[in-house]
Amino acid sequence: MFIVTGGAGFIGSNIVNSLNNRGIDDILVVDNLENTEKIKNLSDLKIVNYMDKAEFFDFMLSAKTIGKVDAVFHEGACSDTMATDGKYVLQNNFSYSKMLLDFCQRHNAQFIYASSASVYGAGTTFVESPKYESALNAYAWSKLLFDCYIRNLDNITVQCCGLRYFNVYGPRELHKGRMASVAWHFRNQLKEFGSVKLFRGTDGYANGQQLRDFVYVDDVVNVNMFLLDNPQINGIFNVGTGRCQSFNDVALAGINYNRRKSGESSVTLEDAVSADQISYIPMPVALEGKYQSYTRADLENLRNTGYDREFDNVDQGVDKYMAILDQNE
């Protein structure tokens, strides 16, 4: 059996889909379905069991057995970077994760969990080392705290891999609302208003030129599957493309996808701004001091494991994503 926490969520449901594509459906999904929109992520997938997060929490505390567990993909978390209830965030992202690791060790199961690039804070070096880590909010700190907990354990008996996801986008994220990717938000803005709103310049960057490592969800899943296939690998790894691109690039990729779909030629950023298809708004006060204006994954650790697949750039990933959204409408 394979267990996917957060299995009805964005990355979790894509992992379930990838397991299905391998012919695996002996899957237990653990999630919280108070947001019923997440059920749509499971409607086309094959699983054998579902447990509510609280039910599974109680199960882990009990002496009940679940049979052989091959691996746990721990994707479930409070992912709201603006959450202000620190107790809730820590219970979900730290305490629950510790219990899952213990559960995996009792069942001799591989443990592959979601960390986050947010642990690097406002730094400009993204290497998996404590000297480059400085969390800016409760979410980031909870993720960093568990990474540090893993680093300090010397009695882990199973594969344990933490994946620091950078800016992931792609199918099955519609339930996330304001926490969905900018690619998804930009597409909605284009459909509704015919234009896209980006943040004005911050931290020395020009309007919309803040740089992020935007990584397509299929690439994220591929890394998870690689680690599943290589249980001898342990550690904490960045999962991004290794390149940084601007929010302007993401917006322009969406605009040009629509233009090509309509038989029109692509435009430059200057053309899109002149035509009012891209405009700029002030940074919200709530994000001041908590916003990463630059991220770029250092992939040396991941590449040293033997993972050699290339990652989609923004143009490639956005084209794939927009085509899937069009098909699903």
- Which residues partner with 112 through β-bridges? 73, 161
Where are the extended beta strands (E) located within 218-281?
235-239, 245-246, 278-281
Where are the extended beta strands (E) located within 33-132?
49-52, 71-74, 110-116
Note the residue count of the chain.
Answer: 329
Contacting residues for 151 by C-beta, under 8 A, at least 6 apart: 130, 236
Nearest residue to 111 (alpha-carbon basis) of 144, 79, 140, 75:
75
- Alpha-carbon Rg for the chain, nearest whole angstrom, is 20
Residues identified as active-site = 139, 176
CA dihedral angle for residue 301, residue 306, residue 307, residue 310, rounded to 10 degrees: 100
What is the distance between the alpha carbons of residues 267 and 11, in angstroms, rounded to a whole number? 32
